[in-house]
Structure 1
Amino acid sequence: MTEQDDQDGPGGPQRPPRVVQRRVRRTPNFLRFIITGAIIGFIVGALIASGGPDAQGYSDRTGVVLIGGIVAAFGALAGAVIGLLLERFLNRR
């Protein structure tokens, strides 16, 4: 056995590793944007409802849940739009 055979290993001569360049497409996680927008929207809606005047026939909790839910829906929509805009911005090339 020669010295060259010992360096090549049992499978024969080793080739250098191939370098493959691929473009990585960066996309935001839309579900996280939507959930974050909904949570922030609910908090803002709850603060608005708790700070406003009381409506007749509704308890404080009902007002917080109703207004918080409505603003949470708009927050989720805003989070989705922000995610879409961010995706467009990141993948411009």
Structure 2
Amino acid sequence: MTSQPPRIPNFKRLLISGAVIGVVVGVVVSLIGDSAGGYSETSAAMYLGALGAVVGLALAGLLGILLDRSGRDGA
């Protein structure tokens, strides 16, 4: 019986995907939500997009770590 190496996630792709999804969600929330007092629509979209990217990056990193550990435990 040959043992297969553990399958680990591609962290680079996972983190980039999380950041892009976060930006999209942040921009959509800023465009759908109420207008922010003192900020233009573009500025609010940029700020919420950047915040979404950071949150998406963090969540994707956590998901990658969990997938990595579960893949290694099964081997």
Tell me the TM-score normalised to structure 2 length: 0.86
**Are 1:38 and 2:19 counterparts?**
yes
Tell me the TM-score normalised to structure 1 length: 0.71
Divergent runs of 4+, >4 A: none
Aligned mate of 2:62, from 81, 86, 90: 81
**Are 1:29 and 2:5 counterparts?**
no
* Percent of residue pairs bearing the same amino acid type: 33
Q: Deviations over 1:18-62 (max 9, x none)?
A: xxx565132211111111111111111111100111123321111
Alignment of structure 1 residues 1-93 onto 2, 5 Å: 23-92=4-73, 93=75
More helix per residue:
2
Aligned length: 73
Task: Give the SS at the match of 2:12.
Answer: helix
Q: Matches of 2:58 and 2:44 in 1, distance apart?
A: 21
Higher RCO (CA 8 Å, separation ≥ 6 residues): 2
For structure 2, the 5+ residue unaligned runs are: none
Structure ID, larger Rg: 1
For structure 1, the 5+ residue unaligned runs are: 1-20
Question: Match for 2:25: what amino acid?
Answer: V
Instruction: Give the alignment's Cα RMSD to 1 decimal.
Output: 1.4
